[in-house]
Amino acid sequence: MGFVPQAAAAISFVVWLVVNMFGEIVGPSLGIDYGVANLVSPFHFLPRVLTGEQLTAAPLLGLAAVAVVLSSAGVARLRVRDLG
């Protein structure tokens, strides 16, 4: 919304579509290599605690840091815009 307000909904939908089509769930069932799914899906970086993998904080903190940086950039850009 801060950088490209006219295309924000379209960009969000395209990102959602790419993650779901090439991600870990639908991608391998369509015959897409699992390596591609690992590159596209942010959920690949989360520890799989339910399957017995040990919980580590580094991937969670990394994804949270990316979210904070992107959110901060969007809010900073939104403040610059003339909304009134």
Q: How confident is the model at residue 68 (pLDDT cuts 50, 70, 90)?
A: very high
* Model confidence, pTM: 0.63
Specify the higher pLDDT residue, 69 or 46: 69
Number of domains in the chain: 1
Q: What digits encode the pLDDT tens for the residues 31-55?
A: 877 777 777 777 777 777 777 778 8
- Per the listing, tokens 């790419």 go with 18
Give me the domain span that covers residue 69: 5-80
Q: What is the DSSP letter of 79?
A: H
DSSP calls for 50-76: GGTPPP-HHHHHHHHHHHHHHHHHHHH
Please give the single-letter amino acid code of residue 35: G
pLDDT score for 69 = 94
Over 70: is that where the pLDDT of 2 sits? no
